[in-house]
Structure 1
Amino acid sequence: MPSGNTHKISEEDRNRLRAELDPETYHIVCEAGTERAFSGKYWDCKVPGMYLCVVCREPLFDSETKYDSGSGWPSYYQPVADDAVIEVKDTSHGMVRTEVVCGNCDAHLGHVFEDGPPPTGLRYCINSASVDLLER
């Protein structure tokens, strides 16, 4: 797992995204921000579909792996593919966590924790602002 700030979003892409995205979404995907619990558009969404990266549109999570973790953020027990997301050691805010970024464009998505349900035991806690739902 990579450690430290490995974000590879170029300055050119950051400028483009600053113009295309609303300020909260930009802060989340480019500056590793987070939305308030229970405030995102997908935390309690039950619509079937595929969750795509808001920056590059690559598939990240299928609604079939989404579950109610009680955390207030959309939670999934696995990504659609092993390379869909990259895990990065996060030592910000005086704690050690595992950040999750898009495997294609490196946009910040959220964090993964080892308190999820079977079959993986993982909880990918993802910001609603970092994904778009492509409904089935």
Structure 2
Amino acid sequence: MSYDIEKSDAEWRAELTPEEYRVLRGAADEAAFAGEYTDTTEEGVYCCRACGADLFTSEEKFDSRCGWPAFYDPKDLDSVEVQQDGSPYPLVRCARCGSYLGELFEGEGFATPTDKRYCINSLSLRLKSADSE
């Protein structure tokens, strides 16, 4: 797969902390209820921690009680890509750099406009506060 931002493994390792690298480039998940954005209600835009692309907004964030930040839709439909790779649930990646964000769940009965839950690792995100814009 080709992305707008392509870097070598060494470049990603130099730019990210070991834990960020494990999640973003290694497609691992952080522990449930441990991420900095799990319970955040601050308004703003959630960007890819690896490349800075705008991914989700606080308007689409909801409390799913799953232990990770949850969104019912991305900021723009082309800001994330959903990949079915044989995993139990489709993987969600940044469409700009290919970094792993989390997984997509559908049909769980949440009272949201899409009945989708983009379950995203806090380590994959950086919140750009509405106050700082």
> TM-score w.r.t. structure 1 length?
0.87
Write the deviation string for residues 3-26 of structure 1: whole angstroms up to 9, x where unpaired.
Answer: xxx58685x432112112111110
State, as a whole percentage, how many aligned pairs show the same letter.
Answer: 41
Give structure 1 regions of 4+ aligned residues with deviation exceeding 3 angstroms. 6-10
| Matched residue, 1:126 | 120
**Mapped partners of 2:78, 2:67: distance in 1:** 26
Q: 1:65 aligns with which of 60, 63, 66?
A: 60
Aligned to 2:22, the other structure's residue is in SS state helix
Q: 2:26 aligns with which of 28, 31, 50?
A: 31
Q: Return closer, same or farther for 1:130/1:100 CA change in 2, 3 Å cut-off.
A: same
Which consecutive residues of structure 2, in runs of 5 or more, have no partner in the other structure?
Answer: none
Q: Return closer, same or farther for 1:30/1:24 CA change in 2, 3 Å cut-off.
A: same
Counterpart check, 1:40 vs 2:35: yes
| Matched residue, 1:78 | 73
Which consecutive residues of structure 1, in runs of 5 or more, have no partner in the other structure?
Answer: 1-5
Write the deviation string for residues 23-77 of structure 1: whole angstroms up to 9, x where unpaired.
Answer: 1110111010100000000000111000000111010000011011000000000
CA RMSD of aligned residues (A): 1.6
> TM-score w.r.t. structure 2 length?
0.89
